[in-house]
Amino acid sequence: MRVLVVEDEPWLAEAVQTTLERASMSVDVAPDGEAALERLAVVDYDAVVLDRDLPGVHGDDVCAAIAATPDGPAVLMLTAAGALRDRVGGLELGADDYLTKPVEFPELVARLRSLARRPRRAAPPVLRCGSLRWDPFRHEVERSGRHVRLTRKEFAVLGVLLAAEGGVVSAEHLLEKAWDENADPFTNSVRVTISNLRQRLGEPWMIHTVPGVGYRLLPDTDTDTHAGTGTGTDAAARTRGDASDVGRTGLSR
């Protein structure tokens, strides 16, 4: 069994490595998230022991990248963040198991062996709408062949809109899927994220507000649909109106 240990505390990384090697596992160590991603790109690991609070690339981003990888390794988060919301959040990011520090090494070994017996995850699908391409495997978004840089939250929101296949998605549903269960239902986070996402896509009309209901993603290659949203001054007016028709809380009226 080949394991990658991602841990920025040298003494702990060495202790985990020694323990796993004594259990007949082959172990590599990465001191940060960037080094972990570099190793994962060239080595086929069976499992990753992943700290969450890493320098540089955060452990959550490493976990999300692994979870989106076809036939990728199992992820066991080993972190000091042990509150319920931390554990749930880690598992929802794609971790297969979660242990808190300080850890009992025999349990760590047993859990890794258990993970090794599970079948590997299937590749997630690439979603498209018009010239927009959303790739969870590479964690990339392209529009008309050009890369679109998004934050982790914007990427998640766009994925939910694409999965709806042109249907209307409520702000409540976006909160449920792209945030966590503790998100404030009266927050303006949805409205702010949608506004930022519109600007990053370069065509604000692509994310259309349905008053009192939610948001719908429009294909940029559908000229009839585009015409229906208005062009020029009409489209600009509609875009300005989108910021207010979801209410001050960010939820649809």
As annotated, the residues of the chain forming the CATH 3.40.50.2300 domain(s) are 2-116
Cα–Cα distance, 120 to 118 (Å, whole number) = 6
Which two structure tokens, joined as six digits, stand for 248? 């001050």
pLDDT at residue number 82: 86
In degrees rounded to 5, what are phi and psi of residue 34?
-65, -45
Of 38, 39, 19, 37, nearest in space to 28 by CA: 39
- Each residue's pLDDT, cut to its tens digit, for the chain (253 residues) gives 999 999 999 999 999 999 999 999 999 999 999 999 999 999 999 999 999 999 989 999 999 888 877 678 999 999 998 889 889 988 988 899 999 999 999 999 999 999 988 776 666 788 999 999 998 877 899 999 999 999 989 999 999 999 999 999 999 999 888 886 666 766 788 999 999 999 999 988 999 999 999 999 999 875 444 444 443 333 333 333 444 444 433 443 3
With contact defined as beta carbons under 8 Å apart, do 116 and 47 qualify?
A: yes
As annotated, the residues of the chain forming the CATH 1.10.10.10 domain(s) are 127-242
Neighbouring-strand partners of residue 209: 215
Cα–Cα distance, 33 to 88 (Å, whole number) = 21
pTM over 0.75: no
Q: Which CATH architecture has domain 2-116?
A: 3-Layer(aba) Sandwich (3.40)
Cα–Cα distance, 182 to 36 (Å, whole number) = 30
With contact defined as beta carbons under 8 Å apart, do 236 and 224 qualify?
A: no
pLDDT at residue number 182: 63
What is the domain class of 127-242 according to CATH? mainly alpha
Cα–Cα distance, 133 to 143 (Å, whole number) = 6
